[in-house]
A and B are shown apart, each in its own frame.
Chain A
Amino acid sequence: MQDSNPVRELDVRVIPPREKHPAIFAMFDALEPGERFVLVNDHDPFPLRFQFEAERPDSFDWDYLESGPVVWRVRISRR
């Protein structure tokens, strides 16, 4: 199936540390159901996944596209 959604990529490496998670959640909350974005980071953002599970339960999908060693890319989809 062809994906008609534009590739939305949020590279959080450039965001000040304390603003990263708020920016990621702001991005997620702006999505419509079925939309997604790719999170780019310089380490495995698995703590963020726990935060998503706690704060946005049953509303997202999490897929690793790249897992280091320099860059991690995770596709976060809104259900």
Chain B
Amino acid sequence: MRLGLSSEAAPAADLQTLAESCARRGLVALELVAGHGHGVAPAMSPAAARAAREMLRDHGVDRVLYRAASVEEALSPAAAELSAALDAAVVATAAPDPAATESLLPGLQDFLVAGGHLLLAHGSDPAAVAAARQLAGHGPADAGVALAWDVLSGERGLGTAAPRVLDAAGPLLRSVRLPGSGPESAGAEGAGIGSLLTQLALRAYDGVIIVAPSAPETLPVWRLWLGRRAGWGCGSKAGDPALITIE
């Protein structure tokens, strides 16, 4: 598993600042949410995208996700070009409705032919995972369509949900997004994150774990956290308030 940062943690930050934050925290993946201050967008030229990719690699970030604003944007020709030039997977939320899923197929084929890589995001409902996997199955076996599990902010019972989601997603799962982690992790006790991570590790999961804020109100904590290089605390230090600064 490879830990990564969402630009949701610093929506106004430029790409260089995000890259430096990742390096400071030992994070090797980066999720770029559409519309944030990083400036990455489907309208970006391929040359600029390649330069961004090199800069990120120089900071140790070797996996990049671009979270599109909509499925339509995700499957656009420009997004496919961005995906190829940035070597990034484009993340789009799959519709649980099979009819809506079918309507995406022509765009998906064009996207894949243009060299794009797609992650279909779904929640913890196994039916949603199955719908996403069905759509992913329409591409060739190694065509670059995979799945992303978006955990909801404040969601509980992850240890119980994990076997169902992981069984349904199978080897296609490439991303797990955890809101309320990072500097907020102490507040996530009892949600089942420890069990989820253990189950992922036992399955030799080598995708990304994206840490993200739970709500905009927590951004000051994230700003502080991203600027520091320090331990997040472990069981033996959980009572030490100096390790995690929560305002």
Chain B residues positioned under 8 Å from A48 (CB to CB):
234, 236
Cα A48 to Cα B234 in complex, Å, equals 9
Instruction: Tell me the smallest distance from the CB of B59 to a CB of chain A, in Å.
Output: 12
Q: Is the CB of A16 within 8 A of B188?
A: yes
Nearest A residue to B209 via CB reads A14
Nearest B residue to A66 via CB reads B26
Among B106-114, B198-206, B215-223, which stretch is in contact with chain A? B198-206
Range of interface residues on A (Cβ < 8 Å)? 20 to 34
Given contacts A7-B204, A13-B3, A15-B193, contact A45 B234 (CB under 8 A): yes
Bitwise, B92-127 to A at CB < 8 A (1) or not (0) is 000000000000000000000000000000000000
Range of interface residues on B (Cβ < 8 Å)? 35 or more
Chain B residues positioned under 8 Å from A18 (CB to CB):
189, 235, 238
Chain B residues positioned under 8 Å from A14 (CB to CB):
3, 178, 181-182, 185, 193, 197, 209, 211
Cα A45 to Cα B231 in complex, Å, equals 11
Q: Is the CB of B189 within 8 A of A16?
A: yes
Interface residues of B in 1-60 (CB under 8 A from A): 1-3, 23-26
Q: Is the CB of B201 within 8 A of A9?
A: yes
Chain B residues positioned under 8 Å from A40 (CB to CB):
3
Instruction: Tell me the smallest distance from the CB of A33 to a CB of chain B, in Å.
Output: 16
Cα A30 to Cα B203 in complex, Å, equals 11
Nearest A residue to B28 via CB reads A71
Given contacts A17-B237, A43-B234, A47-B236, contact A30 B198 (CB under 8 A): yes
A53 in the interface (beta carbon within 8 A): no
A sample of 6 inter-chain contacts (CB < 8 A) reads A10-B1, A13-B3, A16-B185, A19-B189, A30-B202, A70-B25
The list of the 4 closest CB pairs from A to B, nearest first, reads A19-B194, A23-B194, A6-B204, A43-B231
Instruction: Give A contacts to B, CB under 8 Å.
Output: 6-23, 26-27, 30, 37, 40-43, 45, 47-48, 69-71
Instruction: Give B contacts to A, CB under 8 Å.
Output: 1-3, 23-26, 178, 181-182, 185-189, 191, 193-195, 197-198, 201-202, 204, 206, 209, 211, 229-238, 244
Interface contacts beyond A20-B234, A30-B198, A41-B231: sample of 14 additional A-B pairs, CB < 8 Å, sorted by A: A8-B204, A9-B201, A10-B197, A15-B194, A16-B189, A17-B186, A20-B235, A22-B194, A23-B195, A23-B197, A26-B195, A27-B202, A69-B229, A70-B25
